[in-house]
Amino acid sequence: MATEWRELTGLTGGDPIIIERVKLTGKDISVEGNFELPPLARLTMEDQVFIAMFVRCHGSIKEMEQIFGVSYPTIKNRLNRIADQLEVARIDTVQPKNEVLEQLERGEITVDEALRKLNG
């Protein structure tokens, strides 16, 4: 399977892939539609292996340095490059409503500031 996947990602040259049919092996069940690959599956095979090793090392960059024979900055740069490709979730920077209202009530912020914080 890994060989087929490598050939597929090589064929697409990094362009997005849409899966149109999924069949369960050993069963007569298939689902058709347009399915995007999950974020990790969109990575190159080499980056997927790198991330799998990082997880197996429990996030130890020191251990990754030993396994791959590269320096700390090299590991960090690769992790940063991969992280830039994985827009899985964004952290919401909007403050909780009750906290903003309490600040407004105490006179710590103006009504305009409270509206700005509540609206992000």
pLDDT tens readout for residues 36-93 = 888 888 888 899 999 999 999 999 999 999 999 999 999 999 999 999 888 765 555 5
Say if CB 8 and CB 41 are below 8 A apart: no
pTM higher than the cut 0.85 = no
The CA-based dihedral angle spanning residues 71, 72, 73, 78, taken in that order and rounded to the nearest 10 degrees: 90
| Unique residue bearing structure tokens 């539609």 | 33
To 5 degrees, how large is the angle CA 74–CA 77–CA 81?
140
Q: Tell which wins on pLDDT, 14 or 112.
A: 112
Residue 78: its pLDDT value, please? 95
Share of the chain above pLDDT 90, in %: 33
Residue 90: its pLDDT value, please? 53
CA dist 102 → 95, 97, 107 (Å): 11, 9, 9
